[in-house]
Amino acid sequence: MPAPRTTAAVPPPAPPRAPVPPVPPAAPAARRPRRRTPFRSRLGPYLLLVPAVAAIAVGLGYPLARQFVISFQEYGLAQQFGRPAEWVGLQNYVTLLTDPYVWTVIARSIAFCLLNAGLTMAIGIALAVLMTKVGRAARVTLQVGMLLAWGTPVLATMTVWQWLFDSQYGVVNWLLAEPLGMGSMRFHSWLIEPLSFYGVATVIVVWMSVPFVAFTVYAGLLQVPEECMEAAQLDGANAWQRLWSLAIPMVKPVLFVVALLQVIWDLRVFTQIHVLQRAGAPTRETHLLGTYIYSLAKEFSMAGAMATIMLVITLGLTVFYIRRMLREEQL
């Protein structure tokens, strides 16, 4: 964007509340404050941004930049004890990207992410719609249940899920063996097989993520003006049509944000996988991107390169959404 003045670049949005700072307290006050404000208000916003920018730069920006630089160096244990790091160009990336195992991890992560994000969105939207359709008592019951699940700390829920799927005394195995008669499941170890490991992880992740989607979409659905719905009803649209052709398109911006967040969150899923691995799963067969980077901790430059790759994948999966959001968002 070469044009420095944003107002010139974007003609329509000069909203009712007009440009604020250029002429702020001005009118009624006397000369004195008037002469002081232009300078202050030009500098003011930047001063207000300083603490936040500094904190993000120190906590995120600098580690990110450093990691990026080091991903082009040879940096392992020896360098941590003072040996200077050597530049190796793209060698770390080449090593990683020619390793078929890395591609397996990437493919697994993307599959896991899309499956979980898709399931979460589908169930979340369905429950949001359900909330608008049922009576008050049923809705409140549903909301309270969701809130409790949503509010419980991740680690607390992770311990419960470990306990539920415990092979010896877990209630899941009991349920499958006793009332449902699958005797072979009595002492089944859920985490040994990669596929059932991911099944358990999916149940947990979806269970944790659905409440956020359901509540946010529900809040969006409530903002759909009643008049529109009534007009559509008078025109003969049935409930299903009103939902699909009217309400859902109107809450599209919300759906976009939520879906974007789900994809990001599910791609970087770490805690659930890490905890389940520690509960006794073969780590190499169950690594996703996050846990794989964690396992590379000792070889810092490799971890840096892998993290950069993960960042690129994240951007690749979300660039469509981000561009669309930026287009719809008038900044």
Partner 1 sequence: MSAAGSAVATARGQRGGQRSARGGRSSLGRRLLGALAVAVSLAWVFPVYWMISSAFLPTNELRTSEPTFFPVDGGLGNFRRVFTDPTFFSSFRISLAVTGLTLAAAILFAFVAALAVSRFRFRGKKSFIVTILVVQMIPAEGLFISQYHVLDNWGLVNAVLGLTIVYVAAILPFTIWMLRGFVSGIPIELEEAAMMDGLSRTGAFFRITFPLLAPGLVASGVYGFLQAWNEYTLALVVMSDPEKQTLPLWLQGLVEGNRATDWGLVMAGATLITVPVIVFFLIVQNRMSSGLVAGAVKG
Binding residues among 157-216 for partner 1 as defined by CB under 8 A: 157-164, 166, 168-169, 171, 174, 178, 207, 210-212, 215-216
Hey, which residues between 12 and 31 contact partner 1 (CB under 8 A)?
A: 13, 15, 17, 19-22, 24-25, 27-29
Report the residue from 36, 62, 103, 111 that binds partner 1 according to the rule CB under 8 A.
62
CB of 71 or CB of 198, closer to partner 1: 71
Shortest distance, CB of residue 138 to partner 1, whole angstroms? Answer: 4
Hey, which residues between 255 and 314 contact partner 1 (CB under 8 A)?
A: 256-257, 264, 267-271, 274-275, 278-279, 289-290, 293-294, 296-297, 300, 303-304, 306-308, 310-311, 314
75: amino acid identity, one letter: Y
> Which residue is it, tokens 């985490």?
191
Report which of 162, 166, 199, 157 is spatially closest to residue 276, judged by C-alpha positions.
162
State the Cα torsion 258-263-266-267 to the nearest 10°.
Answer: -150
Hey, which residues between 86 and 125 contact partner 1 (CB under 8 A)?
A: none
Burial of 324 (0-12, 13-18, 19+ CB in 10 A): middle
Measured distance CA(62)–CA(78) in Å, rounded: 22
Measured distance CA(171)–CA(161) in Å, rounded: 10
Site for partner 1 contains 222 (CB under 8 A): yes
CB of 90 or CB of 222, closer to partner 1: 222
> Which residue is it, tokens 């730069």?
57
> Which region among 53-61, 89-97, 98-106, 190-198 touches partner 1 (by CB under 8 A)?
53-61
Site for partner 1 contains 3 (CB under 8 A): no
Q: How far is CA 249 from the centre of its chain?
A: 22
